[in-house]
């Protein structure tokens, strides 16, 4: 049996393959295409509209759920076919990539030089250290505060991804 969400994402892929761009306008699905889309694509889209709409809603970090799913599928495909991993390992790798991407796209920022975890300042015996990258900016944290803070950020990413259907372990039957 094909799950409804599955056929909705298949409809989306079929539409994109036919050169149709999809956008949300409130509760309307707006199509943009340089040529009239094939009738079967229109039919698929209108039949699955209710399931397609949530896929195009923001899924966090400025990406829609569908963007995240596409990124996940891409990473899993690369790991499996180019990296030679088993499907299960490729999916685990893809999930880790999604978590990393989510953290990049939802950066934490320190507004001042205070520890983001405990709010404490810079001390000679416990200096604040910058964590992060030049691209996403960095946050100041005590080295002792970092592990718990980072675990919390990861849990936040995992929960946000789970909310849009991207989960660590997908079981295919
Ligand atoms: Zn601290």
Q: How many helices (H) and strands (E) does the chain have?
A: 6, 6
The Å distance, Cα 160 to ligand 1 centre, comes to 25
In this prediction, residue 21 has a pLDDT band, given cuts at 50, 70 and 90, of confident
In this prediction, residue 169 has a pLDDT band, given cuts at 50, 70 and 90, of low
The Å distance, Cα 147 to ligand 1 centre, comes to 10
Beta carbons of 91 and 81 less than 8 angstroms apart: no
Candidates 42, 68, 71; CA nearest to 55 is: 68
Whether 173 shows a pLDDT value over 70: the answer reads no
By residue count, the chain amounts to 173
Average of per-residue pLDDT across 133-156? 86
Average of per-residue pLDDT across 32-56? 86
Q: What is the pLDDT of residue 4?
A: 46
The Å distance, Cα 138 to ligand 1 centre, comes to 15
Q: Beta strands 28-32 and 58-60: pairing type?
A: unpaired
Q: What is the pLDDT of residue 151?
A: 93
pLDDT tens-digit map of 109-133? 777 789 989 999 999 999 998 887 6
Phi-psi region of 119 (alpha: psi -120 to 50; beta: other; left: phi over 0): left
The Å distance, Cα 114 to ligand 1 centre, comes to 8
Of 33 and 171, which is predicted with more confidence?
A: 33
The Å distance, Cα 150 to ligand 1 centre, comes to 12
139 Cβ contact partners less than 8 Å away, ≥ 6 residues apart: 108, 109, 110, 116, 130, 131, 132
33 Cβ contact partners less than 8 Å away, ≥ 6 residues apart: 18, 19, 20, 21
Of 110 and 64, which is predicted with more confidence?
A: 64
Whether 167 shows a pLDDT value over 80: the answer reads yes
């Amino acid at each position: 049996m094909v799950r409804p969400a599955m056929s909705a994402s298949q409809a989306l892929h079929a539409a994109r393959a036919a050169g149709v761009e999809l956008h949300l306008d409130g509760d309307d699905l707006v199509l943009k295409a340089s040529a009239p889309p094939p009738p079967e694509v229109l039919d698929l889209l209108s039949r699955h509209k209710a399931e397609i709409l949530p896929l195009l809603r923001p899924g966090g970090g400025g990406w829609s759920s569908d963007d995240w799913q596409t990124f996940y599928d891409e990473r899993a495909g690369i790991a499996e076919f180019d990296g030679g991993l088993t499907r299960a390992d490729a999916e685990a790798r893809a999930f880790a990539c999604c978590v990393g991407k989510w953290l990049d796209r939802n950066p934490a920022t320190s507004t001042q030089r205070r520890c983001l975890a405990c709010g404490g300042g810079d001390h000679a015996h416990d200096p604040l250290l910058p964590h992060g990258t030049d691209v996403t900016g960095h946050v100041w944290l005590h080295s002792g505060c970092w592990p718990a803070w980072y675990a919390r950020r990861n849990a936040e990413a995992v929960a946000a991804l789970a909310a849009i259907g991207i989960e660590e372990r997908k079981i295919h039957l």
